[in-house]
């Protein structure tokens, strides 16, 4: 069967430079690599074909020969200048490393694999006042310290750890597939590179014990539910000298007896008497910074909202505080005395004589009812 043109295989023009060849080959290698297409013979052939094309066209001497004589000039079976590419993967290991940046996990110079410690999460409940004004909190979190019994070795006093017989102390095992090598964490030692024949009875071979430590965390003013504070390096310690993880403090704001928070704004319900709402008055309302006074207009209806600018919360990223919204609730008198009942009855008769002008919603409501029954 006639071989396909190398430029056609890579999908590049005949004047393609080395960068274009490398880019095209990388795309094909990622698509047809045997590790990604296990058992797929067609993909394997495409991979070999692309490899041969790339090796030939990136060698100036071979490329010049191929451009002049075609496959006959580089095919070893035809006595040309090529070689090593048609029968297998050849020395592709070095090419693969050049293009893809190498394979396998990073290790320390000692051979043992290094692992970063896991992150920890801590849920912290704050009052609304603490969240609005900021506060310092002392947290009790788990911590790991070297075992005093074994001095951190994990071995029973008087004994020593031994190099893992599986990975020979490297912490990793290597699996080879032709010229390729893939490293895996050693399943025998878990990547530590050592085994402990006689574990310490205190730490059970871990070399460390869990304790509690106190951590001071500064909570910024204006923080809200769902926000997180990161405390760098206060997570679980790393393995084999790896860096510690981080601690994430997740904020939850506890319900407040008076206020409801909506972003940087606050809302509260203000009960007022029927007479205060009817006559108008100056009433006192609560704020996070202390009591404040607002004017209640004459004839205020239940459900009316009055706003106090700047009496909300100044968020972490806000330039100015939010507002406080006071929702008026007009209260109906209860447990009336006989005298109070008579006075209200007289007042009601007076309202009726005045017609709709004493009831701002009465006329509209009456019209709606009449329209409904038409």
Whether 30 maps to a domain, the answer reads yes
Instruction: Please state the φ and ψ torsions of residue 136, each to the nearest 5 degrees.
Output: -100, 130
On whether the CB atoms of residues 169 and 112 are closer than 8 A, the answer is yes
Q: Which of 35, 65, 100 is the last residue of a domain?
A: 100
pLDDT digits (tens, 9 = 90+) for 255-287: 999 999 999 999 999 999 999 999 999 999 999
The per-residue pLDDT for 63 is 86
Contacts for 114 with CB less than 8 Å, ≥ 6 apart: 106, 107, 108, 238, 239, 240, 241, 242
On whether the CB atoms of residues 46 and 1 are closer than 8 A, the answer is no
Q: Which of 228, 253, 278 is the last residue of a domain?
A: 253
Q: CA–CA separation, 253 vs 231, rounded Å?
A: 20
Q: CA–CA separation, 260 vs 107, rounded Å?
A: 53
Q: Which of 203, 238, 253 is the last residue of a domain?
A: 253
Q: CA–CA separation, 363 vs 355, rounded Å?
A: 9
CATH code at position 225: 2.10.230.10
The per-residue pLDDT for 223 is 94
pLDDT digits (tens, 9 = 90+) for 51-99: 888 989 988 888 888 887 777 667 655 444 444 333 333 333 334 433 4
On whether the CB atoms of residues 243 and 117 are closer than 8 A, the answer is yes
The per-residue pLDDT for 373 is 66
Higher-pLDDT residue of 88, 344:
344
Whether 106 maps to a domain, the answer reads no
For residues 211 and 292, membership in a common domain is answered with no
What rounded mean pLDDT belongs to the chain? 81
User: Is the pTM of the predicted complex or chain greater than 0.85?
Assistant: no
Task: Output the CA torsion sign for 158, 161, 162, 166.
Answer: positive
CATH code at position 270: 2.60.260.20
Q: CA–CA separation, 265 vs 325, rounded Å?
A: 8
The per-residue pLDDT for 181 is 66
Helices (H), 33-105: 41-57, 60-69, 92-100
Give me the mean pLDDT over the 227-236 stretch.
87
pLDDT > 90? residue 134: yes
Q: CA–CA separation, 266 vs 322, rounded Å?
A: 7
């Amino acid at each position: 069967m006639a071989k396909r043109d190398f430029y056609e295989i890579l999908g590049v023009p005949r004047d393609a430079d080395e960068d274009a060849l490398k880019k095209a080959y990388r795309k094909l290698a990622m698509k047809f690599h045997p590790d990604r297409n296990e058992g797929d013979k067609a993909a394997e052939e495409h991979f070999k074909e692309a490899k041969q094309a790339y090796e030939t066209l990136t060698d100036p001497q071979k490329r010049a020969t191929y451009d002049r004589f075609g496959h006959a000039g580089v095919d070893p079976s035809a006595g040309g200048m090529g070689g090593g590419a048609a029968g297998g993967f050849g020395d592709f290991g070095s090419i693969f490393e050049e293009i893809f940046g190498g394979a396998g996990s990073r290790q320390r110079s000692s051979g043992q694999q290094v692992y970063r410690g896991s992150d920890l999460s801590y849920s912290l409940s704050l009052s609304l006042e603490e969240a609005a004004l900021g506060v310092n909190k002392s947290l009790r979190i788990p911590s790991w310290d070297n075992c005093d019994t074994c001095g951190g070795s994990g071995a029973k006093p008087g004994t020593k750890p031994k190099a893992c017989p599986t990975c020979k102390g490297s912490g990793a095992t290597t699996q080879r597939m032709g010229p390729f090598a893939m490293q895996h964490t050693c399943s025998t030692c878990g990547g530590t590179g050592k085994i402990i024949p006689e574990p310490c009875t205190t730490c059970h071979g871990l070399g460390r014990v869990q304790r509690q430590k106190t951590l001071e965390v500064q909570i910024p003013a204006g923080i809200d539910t769902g926000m997180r504070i990161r405390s760098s390096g206060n997570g679980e310690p790393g393995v084999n000298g790896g860096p510690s993880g981080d601690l994430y403090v997740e904020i939850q704001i506890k319900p407040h007896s008076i206020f409801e928070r909506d972003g940087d704004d606050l809302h509260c319900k203000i009960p007022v008497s029927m007479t205060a709402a009817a006559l108008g008055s100056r009433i006192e309302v609560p704020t996070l910074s202390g009591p404040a006074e607002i004017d209640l207009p004459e004839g205020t209806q239940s459900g009316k909202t009055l706003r106090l600018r700047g009496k909300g919360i100044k968020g972490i990223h806000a330039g100015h505080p939010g507002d406080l919204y006071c929702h008026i609730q007009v209260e109906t008198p209860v447990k009336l005395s006989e005298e109070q009942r008579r006075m209200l009855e007289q007042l009601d008769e007076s309202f009726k004589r005045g017609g709709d002008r004493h009831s701002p919603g009465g006329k509209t409501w009456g019209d709606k009812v009449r329209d409904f029954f038409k």
